[in-house]
């Protein structure tokens, strides 16, 4: 673990880069308080936020992050022993649990009857888990065979869930057959869209719907915005699956949608992934209403360049999951980056 301790201590020393098993790009997490972005959207790395932890548990690929009502951060990773690790905002590990996931990929937190619950999408375990904040399993969902869209449970590889105020929720089958399934709060299957359903833009090609979020900007007409990673585009749908809009993101690889006030944050796994699997990736920030690109973190400050999603510095390696906390801090989980811990950025002053 010496490699991680050196990085997190914020010292001037750098560990030797290790070859990425999923690419040929070596990576050392930044250990200096660098500032990224432009204008009113600038963030400064807090390089030592985990420095007090001298015995960090082993983790797998970083996938997702959420925050509970107390401000604690939940980190979903591909560890077979501790798929969830919980941090305080100051960087103290509070608890670690979860040996029931093969690949904890998507993570959401919801409140029901004054209690908070986690929804974990286990892509390789073909399961969605609903748990308490301490890891007690409340509900499990397998492939919705009753939909007649699957012949066997192994075809179902969920990547994320999206939740409605009434308790209903959607499951994105992002690594399986690319359908978006709607369930009632108790886990009863209701309907599906995407995948091979519908015609034209209503369909979702394979390696498409990786992440997404429900946009409540218009409370009377909420919509679903999906991040189609390897298709390099976003798509907007009504809640019943009617296609509304397609937004190209040529040169990027949008992995998720994070709404924050009047902007949207999008982590890009790499530049033009999967054509270039060695590229580091960036975080893009967009106007929530128009989806116009405002700036990128780790990329070109001039958004009019040919590929505004290309990295300009090797700050990241495969941004995957992103959280903007209640205090405005930015936390980033990275995939295939030598199992680095989440990075923490704070709004630049």
pLDDT at residue 71, rounded to an integer = 98
Closest to 308 (Cα-Cα) out of 282, 278, 343, 336 = 282
Closest to 342 (Cα-Cα) out of 136, 140, 124, 72 = 72
CATH class of the domain comprising 2-347: mainly beta
Three-state SS string across 2-31, please? HHHHHHHCCCCCCCCCECCCCCCCCECCCC
Domain ranges of the chain: 2-347
Contact 98, 84 (CB under 8 A): yes
Closest to 91 (Cα-Cα) out of 46, 133, 58 = 46
pLDDT at residue 3, rounded to an integer = 30
> For the chain, which ranges sit under pLDDT 70?
1-25, 51-54
Contact 64, 106 (CB under 8 A): yes
pLDDT at residue 24, rounded to an integer = 61
Radius of gyration, alpha carbons of the chain: 19
pLDDT at residue 130, rounded to an integer = 98
pLDDT at residue 302, rounded to an integer = 82
Encode 72-111: b = buried (16+ Cβ within 10 Å), e = exposed: bbbbbbbbeebbbbbbebebebeebbbebbebbbbbbebe
Structure confidence by residue, pLDDT tens digits, 73-95 = 999 999 999 999 999 999 999 99
pLDDT at residue 1, rounded to an integer = 31
Three-state SS string across the chain, please? CHHHHHHHCCCCCCCCCECCCCCCCCECCCCCCCEEEECCEEEEECCCCCCCCCCCCCCCCEEEEEECCCCCEEEEECCCCCCEEEECCCCCEEEEECCCCCCEEEEEEEEECCEEEEEEEECCCCEEEEECCCCCEEEEECCCHHHCCCCCHHHCCCCEEEECCCCCEEEECCCCCCEEEEECCCCCEEEEEECCCCCHHHCCCCCCEEEEEEECCCCCCCEEEEEECCCCEEEEEECCCCEEEEEECCCCCECCCEEECCEEEEEECCCCCCCCCCCCCCEEEEECCCCCEEEEECECCCCCCCCCCCECCCCCCCEEEEEECCCCCEEEEECCCCCCCCEEEEECC
pLDDT at residue 15, rounded to an integer = 30
pLDDT at residue 278, rounded to an integer = 83
pLDDT at residue 22, rounded to an integer = 57
pLDDT at residue 30, rounded to an integer = 87
Structure confidence by residue, pLDDT tens digits, 229-285 = 999 999 999 999 999 999 999 999 999 999 999 999 999 999 878 888 888 999 999
């Amino acid at each position: 673990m010496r490699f991680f301790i050196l990085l997190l201590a914020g010292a001037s020393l750098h560990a030797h880069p290790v070859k990425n098993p999923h690419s040929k790009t070596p990576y050392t997490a930044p250990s200096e308080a660098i500032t990224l972005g432009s204008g009113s959207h600038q963030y400064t790395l807090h390089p030592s936020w985990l420095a007090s932890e001298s015995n960090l548990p082993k983790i797998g690929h970083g996938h997702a992050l959420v925050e509970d009502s107390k401000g604690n951060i939940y980190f979903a990773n591909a560890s077979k022993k501790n798929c969830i690790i919980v941090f305080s905002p100051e960087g103290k590990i509070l608890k670690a649990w979860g040996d029931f996931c093969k690949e904890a990929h998507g993570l959401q937190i919801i409140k029901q009857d004054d209690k908070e619950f986690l929804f974990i999408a286990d892509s390789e375990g073909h399961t969605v888990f609903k748990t308490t904040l301490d890891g007690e399993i409340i509900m499990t969902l397998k492939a919705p065979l009753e939909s007649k869209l699957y012949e066997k449970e192994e075809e179902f590889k969920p990547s994320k869930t999206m939740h409605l105020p009434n308790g209903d929720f959607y499951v994105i089958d992002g690594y399986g057959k690319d359908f978006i399934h709607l369930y009632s709060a108790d886990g009863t299957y209701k309907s599906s869209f995407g995948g091979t359903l519908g015609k034209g833009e209503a369909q979702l090609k394979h390696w498409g719907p990786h992440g997404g979020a429900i946009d409540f900007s218009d409370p009377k007409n909420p919509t679903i915005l999906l991040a189609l990673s390897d298709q390099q585009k976003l798509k907007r749908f009504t809640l019943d699956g009617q296609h509304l809009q397609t937004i190209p993101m040529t040169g990027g690889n949008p992995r998720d949608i994070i709404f924050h006030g009047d902007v949207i944050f999008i982590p890009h796994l790499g530049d033009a992934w999967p054509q270039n699997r060695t590229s580091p990736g960036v975080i893009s920030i967009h106007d929530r209403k128009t989806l116009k690109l405002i700036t990128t973190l780790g990329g070109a400050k001039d958004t009019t360049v040919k590929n505004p999603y290309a990295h300009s510095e090797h700050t990241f390696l495969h941004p995957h999951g992103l959280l903007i906390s209640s205090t405005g801090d930015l936390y980033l989980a990275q995939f295939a980056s030598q199992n680095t811990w989440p990075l923490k950025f704070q709004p630049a002053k």
